[in-house]
Structure 1
């Protein structure tokens, strides 16, 4: 192996994985929700943010929709 390589003649190209990169977002989640995912993540030995991402990805893959119906107060 060479001690130095000349990369100045290399052609650049686009990152083929750029479309798969994660986008940082800021969310406000309830403490109990965060604790739920943290405890589950600890059991599965995976970061809790990754676990939340996997859960949301599963929702996308299965086209899950939430049914939000507010009950009227009497």
Structure 2
């Protein structure tokens, strides 16, 4: 970022919940037309904090790391049928 950008009044996470619900981008083109695009996070999408993102270049790296952790967890006991 350039030094002249001033973010002192910014609030971290201000639009986080709205972004998770989905958002619309309206593009005003130079020829006068308008293009509207709707974005919504895919089911199961997870947002990583920046300090965590630094360790994972892509979703495959995240999944591999989590699978490695899962192998360390004790197996869940089978649920018993209720009487």
- Same-fold call, TM cutoff 0.5: no
Relative contact order, higher structure (CA 8 A, sep 6+)? 2
TM-score bracket, normalised by the shorter chain, equals 0.3 to 0.5
Question: Which has the larger share of strand?
Answer: 2
Which TM-score applies when normalising by structure 2?
A: 0.33
Question: Which has the larger share of helix?
Answer: 1
Which TM-score applies when normalising by structure 1?
A: 0.36
